[in-house]
Amino acid sequence: MSELLFNHLGGRWQAGTGAGTPLVDPVLGTELARVDATGLDLRAGFDFAREQGGRALRAMSYRERAAMLTAVVKVLQAQREAYYAIAAANSGTVKNDSAVDIDGGIYTLQTYAKLGEGLGDRRFLLDGEPARLAKEPVFQSQHVLVPTRGLALFINAFNFPSWGLWEKAAPALLSGVPVVVKPATATAWLTQQMVKDVVDAGVLPAGALSVVCGSSAGLLDALQPFDVLSFTGSAETAALIRSHPAVTQRSVRVNIEADSVNSAMLLPGEAPGSDAFDLLAKEVAREMTQKSGQKCTAIRRVFVPEALYAQAAEAIGARLAKTTVGNPRNETVRMGALVSRAQLAAVREGLAHRQAQAETLHDGSRHALVDADPAIACCVGPTLLGTREAAGSDASDRVHDTEVFGPVATLIPYRDAAHAMQLIARGQGSLVASLYGSDAGALAAAALELAPLHGRVHVVSPEVAAHHTGHGNVMPQSLHGGPGRAGGGEELGGLRALNFYHRRAAIQAGTATLAALA
């Protein structure tokens, strides 16, 4: 039997009492390690995090906690090569895709360390200016933000075992709130190893960072009223979380990131071969293949003027045809594997579901695998579907309703800008939409039209071609989340992320007392 990865809870490393769940190399099919959380005393472990970790973190200023994040960064940077090896083995990602996860997580920590340094030696935040409550300005109301007295539980998805941890943990720890992370089982190794390295380095107070690996019954049962819960995953699981007594009865604050059929739109008036046209084709191909399409922000629907449908299909397909698929250890491979056989089956099922209402413009099944056995490896080539006629865009409900979490996108023609906006809205809320064009006024108007439906609108024009950060790349300075079916949550956005981990209160007092606060 392979190595059992321990949990860290209650300030100590603990093994579960069960046989464990195997973690498997999605290319070679070999067992890498096992995880198990059976028999853990979650309530005692959570109490330790709240009482020991929370007290120690709150005793520090924002500046001191920022320095703590910087220390975490140094620990992780020292082990980067080991993390890349784990990502290739457990997630099946090529080096560039592993960098999005590993270096993206480290960069997010660095960003919040810098933001925290700017907050200085305070232990709470002022929220706005004092408001007069009486005729004379001697009695006023000042809103403040103070760290919650609970813990932050993160239930994370399988696609970003590093970034998914640190994009949540960075603002939580900076806020003074202890963290318990439950990574998705399939790719838990990287999360567990990062937590182990940080804990063993002693750069955090005891109880500030805990990890629970493997299936763990009762995780939500151990939550208390001042805890917060952040979940990334399916809408079905999100619905179960929202109906749990911890949320409905104990008012645990919840942040949800769920399904998202993100869009890319080429504005009217662009010609085939124009800068904006080529930028769209390049970004669609990149988003379809990066991390094998296993990104919550990946482009799923591509909207182009009806007259450009054939040319767009050819341009995107030509780029996809150059994508080599297979074993990430082979330097010629540009796209690795899906994370598991279960995910491979789900992608194939979702693709077939979509193909019932769309034509296949680029067939991913024609990609020969490099250094990988098709009978074992969880690899699949990128597939571009299309609806061809604008009328078909209206009739094809599956295109707008079904997210295939893999290298699959659908090209959708539209009649005019208003029609495109109607079709994009059928996604019922998404994490991100990207716009491509050269008319600044038209781009600005379209961005505002899409803003109520998305957490982020990424605008790409020729002057930012070499500088934009990418449709699917989540930057810590910008909001991550989305309304409607995307979950209604908000993460990151610079210091806005700290709001989730603080409680707002109004202090009504005389001017001298309020001056003492400031």
User: Is-catalytic flag, 296?
Assistant: yes
Question: Residue by residue, what is the 3-state secondary structure of 447-505?
Answer: HHHHHHHEEEEEEECHHHCCCCCCCCCCCCCCEEEECHHHCCEEEECHHHHHHHHEEEE
Catalytic position from the list 213, 296, 378, 379: 296
Average pLDDT over the chain reads 96
Per-residue pLDDT of 58-116, as tens digits, reads: 999 999 999 999 999 999 999 999 999 999 999 999 999 999 999 999 999 999 999 99
Distance set, CA 324 to CA 279, 286, 298, 330 (Å): 21, 13, 19, 10
Per-residue pLDDT of 429-471, as tens digits, reads: 999 999 999 999 999 999 999 999 999 999 999 999 999 999 9
Q: Where are the domains of the chain?
A: 43-258+492-517, 262-475
Per-residue pLDDT of 102-124, as tens digits, reads: 999 999 999 999 999 999 999 99
Name the residue among 25, 8, 12 with its Cα closest to residue 328: 25
Q: What is the pLDDT of residue 1?
A: 56
**Can you tell me the distance from the alpha carbon of 344 to that of 333, in angstroms, rounded to the nearest whole number?**
19
Q: How far is CA 195 from the centre of its chain?
A: 18
Neighbours of 304 (CB within 10 A): 31
Catalytic position from the list 167, 257, 403, 490: 257
User: Is-catalytic flag, 257?
Assistant: yes
43-258+492-517: CATH architecture? 3-Layer(aba) Sandwich (3.40)
Strands (E), 172-239: 179-182, 209-211, 228-232
Q: What is the pLDDT of residue 2?
A: 78
pTM of the model: 0.96
Residue 339, pLDDT > 90, answer yes
Tell me the percentage of the chain whose pLDDT exceeds 90.
Answer: 95
Name the residue among 436, 439, 435, 462 with its Cα closest to residue 449: 435
Dihedral (C-alpha) 385, 303, 264, 324: value to the nearest 10 degrees?
Answer: 30
CA Rg value for the chain: 24
Identity (one letter) of the amino acid at 91? S
Highest mean predicted confidence (pLDDT) among 17-21, 396-400, 489-493: 489-493
Contact 326, 369 (CB under 8 A): yes
Stretch 329-343: mean pLDDT, rounded? Answer: 96
Q: What is the pLDDT of residue 173?
A: 98
Q: What fold characterizes domain 262-475? A: Aldehyde Dehydrogenase; Chain A, domain 2 (3.40.309)
Q: Dihedrals φ, ψ of 344, to 5°?
A: -60, -45
Per-residue pLDDT of 162-186, as tens digits, reads: 999 999 999 999 999 999 999 999 9
Per-residue pLDDT of 478-514, as tens digits, reads: 999 999 999 999 999 999 999 999 999 999 999 999 9
